[in-house]
Amino acid sequence: MVSIKEPQLVADTSQLNWMNTYNQEQLQTLQLVRKYLDGLTPRAFSELKSTLKEYLSFRNDLDTFLTRHFNDICTEQCFRSRLSACCSREGIIAFFADVLVNAVMSDSEPLDRIEAVLSQPNPGFKCIFLGDEGCLWQVTPIVCAIFLCDSAKERVFEGNEELHKCWEALEEQKKRFTWPDRPVLFDDLEALFIDAGLRSPLMYLHDSPGLLRIKQLAGIDTTKR
Ligand code: SF4
């Protein structure tokens, strides 16, 4: 989907020595987030959840659009044929904010299931989060939610410029939460944890040289954290 990371073996230092970097980063981040959320008072949790309101509303709009215009074609092209080309092994980059949003919006049980699959090797070619009933995430990572393959786009948008424009508008809206050429939610959520002394390898908006460059070009101070 976005980019394929080569799995790298982790040094033989623990009982998880089979675990590749991908599983390890995802698992550590989810555990970090769950621990932080468990320590919040109900009021602090509710305040954090309220900061997600606008983003969740956007995700709702996105889901509605995709269900209305792509459900049939994706079911026919991918899921019925069991191709599921969008959900390839280690094919997605989940941002720290994706993990946090999903954890805030999930009960313990689905998060326990995610931890369980991450604690096992993934022998297949599909994404480790793809279960028999579909994705294990309640709120899927944004790169998954916004992904449409070229073939599906061609079939749905061909001859329907208005619909194509609606899609482009949704892609633009996504940037308002994720693209750090201005203050964005995904950056703020990382900063919340960094200020609390907590770090994750999925904090790309604070650690990725490419995204830091976007911030610098926009005149955003990247030296504070
Ligand atoms: S996280 Fe979910 S939606 Fe995204 S690639 Fe994996 S199974 Fe598919």
Q: What is the pLDDT of residue 88?
A: 79
Q: Residues in the chain with pLDDT < 70?
A: 1-18, 76-77, 79-85, 224-225
Q: Which sign, positive or negative, has the C-alpha torsion 130, 146, 47, 220? A: positive
Q: Atom 7, ligand 1: which residue's CA is nearest? A: 130
pLDDT tens track for 4-50: 333 333 333 444 566 789 999 999 999 999 999 999 999 999 999 99
Is the CB–ligand 1 distance for residue 92 below 6 Å?
A: yes
Q: What is the pLDDT of residue 77?
A: 67
Ligand 1 pocket test target in 70, 113, 117, 129 with most atoms within 8 Å of CB = 129
Residue 46 CA to residue 38 CA, distance in Å, equals 12
Q: What is the pLDDT of residue 16?
A: 54
Is the CB–ligand 1 distance for residue 22 below 6 Å?
A: no
Q: What is the pLDDT of residue 194?
A: 97
What residue spans define the domains of the chain?
21-178
Q: What is the pLDDT of residue 4?
A: 34
User: What values do phi and psi take at 20, rounded to 5?
Assistant: -80, 170
Q: What is the pLDDT of residue 225?
A: 64
Contact 19, 110 (CB under 8 A): no
